[in-house]
Amino acid sequence: MSNIIAENKIDHKIAVLVNDNVITSYDIIQRLKLIAIINGNNINIQNNQAMLNNIVDELIQEKVKIDKINEYNIKIDEIEYNEFELNFFKNNNIDRSQILSLLSKNNINYEELKNLLKYELSWNKLIRGLFLRLTSVSELEIDEIISKNPDISPQQAQSLVIKRQLDLQSSKLLRDIMNEATIDYK
């Protein structure tokens, strides 16, 4: 019995503190398995450390994003989430039932995936709220995109230009809040 308790303590060890938010080794392993399942990757000796490092970085970024999302009181309703999840599976060519089955087999709660998607949706909503009014699209940009891919409509080209601008603003904001964050590796 004491071995089981010891293993549970190891699984829940604090790995990183981000602005007083805790990331445990358990969180890291759960996210590692979740991302491996979503991406269809096998975790092995060759890619384990690189994947772990990427996961830790993603979790740290997620924590600072959540702080900013909470600062602006961004809320997601069930309809928004369901649409986002549906698009996530569709855009990534993933069978939802298969992923849910794999999550269950690997002892990963569906809430892990749901939280990951909610945070992503909330961040996107924050970025759109902060920066959408600052975006502008020129005919030259639209024409350039259409010339590279004639199958794209002008509206799709415009959406791509806006997405590119919002992605740039998102990167800048994330870089700024990461620079201000207090990150303590344990």
User: Any idea what the CATH number is for the domain that residue 133 is in?
Assistant: 1.10.4030.10
pLDDT of residue 75: 96
pLDDT of residue 45: 81
pLDDT of residue 8: 43
CA dihedral 155, 127, 174, 161 (to 10 degrees): 10
**What is the number of structural domains in the chain?**
1
Structure tokens at 21: 């938010």
pLDDT of residue 11: 56
Domain that residue 133 falls in: 2-185
The tens place of each residue's pLDDT in the chain, 186 residues long, gives 333 333 444 457 999 999 999 999 999 999 999 999 998 888 888 888 889 999 999 999 999 999 999 999 999 999 999 999 999 999 999 999 999 999 999 899 999 999 999 999 999 999 999 999 999 999 999 999 999 999 999 999 999 999 999 999 999 999 999 999 999 998
> What are the C-alpha distances in Å from 177 to residues 28, 172, 182?
21, 9, 10
pLDDT of residue 69: 98
Q: Where are the alpha helices (DSSP H) in 18-153?
A: 25-39, 45-71, 78-91, 96-105, 110-131, 139-148
Yes or no: say if 27 and 59 are a contact pair by the CB < 8 Å rule.
yes
pLDDT of residue 43: 81
